[in-house]
Structure 1
């Protein structure tokens, strides 16, 4: 197992090989060292890849569709501007954390960053606030949701690998995410601001980047006047949907999944009609599908999109997630190879011998892979595969906490081998050292604070 993981790490970090290819080759090396025949290796890898894509891939695609509808229709701008218009300068960091968390529910982290950066720059300029005071809470909101709350790909993969119940995972994930966001967002933002010092608003970033097209300062002022007269606008000048409709669309899948979890606790009868209904509508596939179908009306049609344009928006949403799909699938193949060669049993025995909490072990494994590869997704899928035997015999609550522990570990200390590190550095116009003091430190705070709360919940439940 160590040799297989080391090969993946070296291929990604040294040879800059794509994570998909690195995971495929790492699985081959793992099986070869373990003495597994080639035909059995292929069966293990393809079975793991197929089952992972079948269970998670559709959900990733639906999430991308909803995120694209949200961006193209101007719904994201509508939510941000509505909330910000009701906030004073003191509450702006807290508001940005809230906006990022709400927008982060259906969006991939990278999409959320590109979408929020122009809003962060505009808010910092309007409120005359230090950039990091509003930027760190926004980044924390996206990152916390990305690592701890389904239906993001990482938590979903861990839920599938550990055979966890999505309802308790979602509920506990939100319970851990809220205090973690408060500490790592608005509170740590002030610390990061002092560590890094004052930052100038990057002119290039403010003038032209982001999913919806960021604007320069003068153009932003002109658009502020246009918003007051004609309403907020999305791409190509179309009128954005209402705040209520946009918020309801984003929250629909979370509400349906939480309703299913509540029904499981209150009714707890598989033959009851009400529970069967909620089990159906609260399943991740149906919940996200319902949100996408609703979004086509509340976001697309409300913005004046034709049927052809809505179809084109849905079509364009799928291309950017191809890489994520392949990485997640290959991670599932590597996980299945680990299981079939018996590595999981060895890890479980080792953990029992060292008397280490399964939650802490899952977190430590994810931390190590995150530091080595720079990929939160690779860290999640690999650590979940290694920790899978530890979930045997656990209650549904502790299995859900193990999912969260792996997710928390996957966020630890983003550095130069992480694409997100460079994305934040360039958008905020920081040096490498400043990015370490702000972004990397924030990710570490999220990971450590989250595992502390997870371990405390493990003592309570």
Structure 2
């Protein structure tokens, strides 16, 4: 789910010329993924080093010149850090202030007190869905991770039982529901009706979130047991006397989390309604609704209002911000290396090979749309690349379809773009490091959840295709 520049254009992504023959490309990719997993799981090599070695090896094995493979990895690393890295840094600072000020305590205590234990996973799914509607997955995750961890710690429930529903809500919105940027690109490229696609997308998202979130989390929690990470530890968690302690109000804390959500949602709505507008309000929202700016404003809000509500002085705020960054250094390097691996795969042209192989098939249009997006997603590790590329490939087909069928094609592409997140996806490593799981545990929880979202989304689209 790597964050990429958002492009609102109807032009398909130009295909990349394959670096070698199909057999060599696919063999290099499969062997490379296997080597990375073995290095990490059997030889205990650090994921950052394993990803760097594996990515460059895949590039060379696929036919890229060594210098080009290294450059490709560096480009992907840099692009990922420019987007995701800044967001993770801002998010870590925001989350630490939320915890140290007592704001996270206030939110968590309210959620735990007003929700039955059996209802907490459903509450987390709803929160994840609302946060994820206008946001890229990475932004929503860094905002929600303090709440996920503290709810699991305070409620005594399994971390997986609490985290999976929130992750499912974020991920489904990322792939299926406009005005989220991914689906919106497909809507624009294929010429789909935005309102109809939004209505069908929401109707489809609800059962998909329920199945892949609260329902699947029951099974996932039995498969994987992992301790709650020692992150965002508060005075209450350490058993200190917090009687009479000042804490931000529940409204204050929630407003801080929802501020970037509101800014990004407003930008998405304006872009969807009138993308060509030159009105001053659009220019303002384009700026303040940019993920980095929106999350930066949330951080400023936290520095002022969380600190005031929690009785923190300037020195305490400075210390909190400083302490927030060292724990995420390893996360940033691993996520950046995942982005580098993804870019190497893209530059080898494997996505073009896959697209060419299936574009001439006689399968159902909806099934082909899902299949193209899923293959490109598995090969490149990017939901956005899969969405944009699949939409570009199938744009000529969409021109011959009725309006409802085009909307279903958009949702099929979105579902396919979420299939089988693994070691070439920066989002895989972000979730793994935040939750403290092993590679195997992450494959059994996060990866299976993504597959469940993708396949159930496809089934839902195929069912709707019978009646629409």
Name the counterpart of 1:350: 357
TM-superposed CA distance for 1:293, in Å, is 0.6
Name the counterpart of 2:283: 276
Q: How many residues align?
A: 397
Pairing 1:248-397 to 2, within 5 Å after superposition: 248-354=255-361, 357-363=368-374, 366=377, 380-381=381-382, 389-392=389-392
TM-score w.r.t. the length of structure 1 is 0.67
The answer on 1:58 being equivalent to 2:86 is yes
TM-superposed CA distance for 1:251, in Å, is 0.8
Pairing 1:48-447 to 2, within 5 Å after superposition: 48-87=76-115, 91=119, 94-95=122-123, 97-98=125-126, 105-107=140-142, 113-121=148-156, 138-145=162-169, 147-148=171-172, 178-187=206-215, 192=219, 211-212=232-233, 230=244, 238-354=245-361, 357-363=368-374, 366=377, 380-381=381-382, 389-392=389-392, 402=413, 405-407=416-418, 409-410=420-421, 445-447=452-454
TM-superposed CA distance for 1:328, in Å, is 3.1
* Structure 1: gaps (5+ residues): 122-130, 231-237, 370-378, 426-431
Distance 1:246 1:352 in 2: 49
- 1:164-205 CA deviation, whole Å, 9 max, x = no partner? 99xx9xx8998765543333444556x759x969xxxx9x97
Distance 2:93 2:104 in 1: 14
Q: In 2, are the aligned partners of 1:147 and 1:411 still within 8 Å (CA)?
A: no
- 1:25-68 CA deviation, whole Å, 9 max, x = no partner? 23322332343333333333322322332233212222222222
Q: In 1, are the aligned partners of 2:80 and 2:336 still within 8 Å (CA)?
A: yes
Distance 1:145 1:452 in 2: 18
What is the DSSP-based 3-state SS (H/G/I as helix, E as strand, rest coil) of the residue aligned with 1:85? helix
Larger mean CA deviation between 389-398 and 331-340 belongs to: 389-398
What is the DSSP-based 3-state SS (H/G/I as helix, E as strand, rest coil) of the residue aligned with 1:269? coil
Distance 1:284 1:86 in 2: 31
TM-superposed CA distance for 1:445, in Å, is 4.3
Distance 2:130 2:97 in 1: 15
* Structure 2: gaps (5+ residues): 1-24, 133-139, 189-193, 396-405
Distance 1:322 1:163 in 2: 35
> Per the alignment, do residues 14 and 86 of structure 1 end up closer, same or farther by CA in structure 2, a change over 3 Å counting?
closer
Q: In 2, are the aligned partners of 1:109 and 1:143 still within 8 Å (CA)?
A: no
> Per the alignment, do residues 320 and 175 of structure 1 end up closer, same or farther by CA in structure 2, a change over 3 Å counting?
farther
Distance 1:61 1:177 in 2: 30
Q: 1:36 aligns with which of 56, 64, 77?
A: 64
> Per the alignment, do residues 8 and 74 of structure 1 end up closer, same or farther by CA in structure 2, a change over 3 Å counting?
farther
TM-superposed CA distance for 1:336, in Å, is 3.1
